[in-house]
């Protein structure tokens, strides 16, 4: 397989507990609407929200920019919009990975129009080197170099999402 383990299951689960502790502190005594960005964030979100103490409502948003390629097309389309009313609510958007930042910037614009009282972002992975637009991420699992990664929800052409760890994906078999 053209993949190589990069972040172990154990390391991921330990980090998720730390992020959840932080979110539990920041939103103590409040309610949260969690918006899971499909498809890649579904496993991270499932693990993260099970560590949260406050009442949580869950919604989903699906956007696309990549198709089956390794590079962003730069054009972000909403494939499924949120269905809950987030006006006046505390919202936490959960993303799989932030690369250029274009997706999260677009999502921020789309959700701000709906006027939530707080709008925070959690990303499982972050690639600071490939950023093309300035954006603030409130909770980051791991900063990683500019590799294409799969597993733990992340795919290459829809494959590898079920891996419990994160792996680097190589376009050719590693010699």
Binding residues for Mg ion, rule: CB under 5 A, are 155
For ligand XMP, the binding residue among 23, 140, 150, 167 (CB under 6 A) is 150
Q: Strands of the chain (E only): list them.
A: 3-7, 32-38, 56-64, 77-80, 90-98, 118-126, 139-143, 149-150, 166-169
Q: Given CA atoms 110, 112, 115, 120 in this order, what sign does their dihedral have?
A: positive
99 is catalytic: yes
Of the candidates 47, 81, 96, 99, the residue annotated as catalytic is 99
Shortest approach of ligand XMP to residue 167 CB, angstroms? 10
* Cβ proximity of 106 and 63 under 8 Å: yes
Q: Does 45 bind ligand XMP (CB under 6 A)?
A: no
Q: What does 90 bind: ligand XMP, Mg ion, none (CB cut-off 5 to 8 Å by kind)?
A: none
Shortest approach of ligand XMP to residue 62 CB, angstroms? 10
Which residues are 169's β-sheet partners? 3
Which sequence positions are flagged as catalytic?
99
């Amino acid at each position: 397989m053209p993949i190589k383990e990069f972040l172990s299951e154990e390391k991921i689960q330990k980090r998720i507990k730390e992020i959840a502790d932080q979110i539990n502190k920041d939103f103590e005594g409040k309610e949260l609407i969690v918006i899971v960005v499909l498809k890649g964030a579904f496993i991270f979100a499932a693990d993260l929200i099970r560590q949260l103490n406050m009442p949580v409502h869950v919604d989903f948003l699906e956007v696309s920019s990549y198709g089956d390629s390794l590079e962003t097309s730069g054009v972000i389309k909403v494939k499924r919009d949120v269905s809950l009313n987030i006006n006046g609510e505390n919202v936490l958007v959960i993303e799989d990975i932030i690369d250029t930042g274009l997706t999260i910037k677009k999502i921020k614009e789309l959700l701000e129009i709906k006027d939530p009282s707080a709008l925070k972002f959690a990303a499982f992975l972050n690639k600071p080197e490939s950023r093309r637009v300035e954006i603030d991420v409130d909770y980051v699992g791991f900063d990683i170099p500019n590799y294409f990664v799969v597993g733990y929800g992340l795919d290459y052409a829809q494959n590898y999402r079920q891996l419990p760890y994160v792996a680097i994906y190589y376009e050719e078999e590693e010699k």
